Amino acid sequence: MRRLCAAAGAIALATSAFAGEIPRSDRRSGYDFMSRETRAMQDDDSANPGLLWVLEGDGLWNRRTGTASRACVDCHGDARVSMKGVAARHPSFSAAQGRPVNLEQRINGCRINQQKAPPLAWESRDLLALTAYVARQSRGLPIEVGIDQRTQAFLDAGRATFERRQGQLNLACSQCHDDHWGRRLAGNVVPQAHPTGYPLYRLEWQTLGSLQRRLRNCLVGMRVEPYDYGAPELVDLELFLMWRARGMTFEAPAVRP
């Protein structure tokens, strides 16, 4: 009898451990959960407000700045060629920092080291504009973050954060986004949390925002003390989420409700 119980327990444990992961065939972008009107807004380049930031980023890309008086275009050339697929590969490993960095950190790294300019503040208009401009060049490409020996530990840390119960509500990200996606939280559909379109225009924000803003938003909702912008925990979580969405189509700048 005891052996039977132990076996039953082991089966229950095994199924609960695997019930979480969304099979690849069932993965859906947040786009698929949106209304027809919001989808149309994202798809139409003259209606998608994210394109305002892309337009502004185009200007910043060509503007000289910093004591080096260099513009992004001086090193990288035409962004449509050189930045193609870059956003779909981030966060990526930075040898200088010894850890993965996200796209915003990569841009600011370039500003500090190459342009000799002060870094742009998180969620500032300029940083969002440059990120949106670079991200736009990856639209339609599959997400593919490179996981190797250098990044595996950070991926595991991100996964641990995703699956760890935290905050006053004692919730884990995975409880909503792996186990209960497609159901409703208040009036809203719970999506699968695939970061396919960041930076994206959120109608609730009435502005463009980064993935870190969204993650902090979620953490506050779980009544967790949110990590600071740029905190390693958030970047690891970004890395895990992008890995989890590997192969999905990158759609930045997306529109979400």
Partner 1 sequence: MASALINVPARAKRGEIIEVKTLISHPMETGYRRSQLGALIPRDIIRLFVCTYNGTEVFRAELHPAIAANPFIVFSTVATESGTLAFRWTGDKGFSVAESVAITVA
Q: Which positions touch partner 1 (CB under 8 A)?
A: 44-47, 49, 51-52, 55-56, 125, 203, 206-207
Nearer to partner 1, 135 or 241 (CB): 135
Residue 139 beta carbon to partner 1: minimum distance, rounded to whole angstroms: 16
Residue 47 beta carbon to partner 1: minimum distance, rounded to whole angstroms: 6
Residues 197, 87 contacting (CB under 8 angstroms): no
The encoded tokens of residue 10 equal 């082991």
Nearer to partner 1, 125 or 150 (CB): 125
Nearer to partner 1, 25 or 46 (CB): 46
Sign of CA dihedral 112, 90, 165, 201: positive
Strand partners, 171: 166
Residue 52 beta carbon to partner 1: minimum distance, rounded to whole angstroms: 4
Tokens 């020996």, residue located = 149
Nearer to partner 1, 137 or 161 (CB): 137
Assign 150 to helix, strand or coil: helix
Residues 105, 238 contacting (CB under 8 angstroms): no
Query: Residue 101: in which H helix or E strand, if any?
Result: strand 99-101
Assign 6 to helix, strand or coil: helix
Q: Following CA atoms 102, 108, 110, 112 in sequence, which dihedral angle do they give, to the nearest 10 degrees?
A: -140
Which position among 5, 75, 110, 218 bears the catalytic label?
218
Residue 129 beta carbon to partner 1: minimum distance, rounded to whole angstroms: 10
5 is catalytic: no
Q: Following CA atoms 48, 110, 87, 105 in sequence, which dihedral angle do they give, to the nearest 10 degrees?
A: -90
Assign 249 to helix, strand or coil: strand
Assign 179 to helix, strand or coil: coil
Residues 210, 164 contacting (CB under 8 angstroms): no
Tokens 């409880």, residue located = 175
Nearer to partner 1, 11 or 55 (CB): 55
Nearer to partner 1, 200 or 242 (CB): 200
Q: Following CA atoms 150, 231, 145, 149 in sequence, which dihedral angle do they give, to the nearest 10 degrees?
A: 10
Just list the catalytic residues.
218
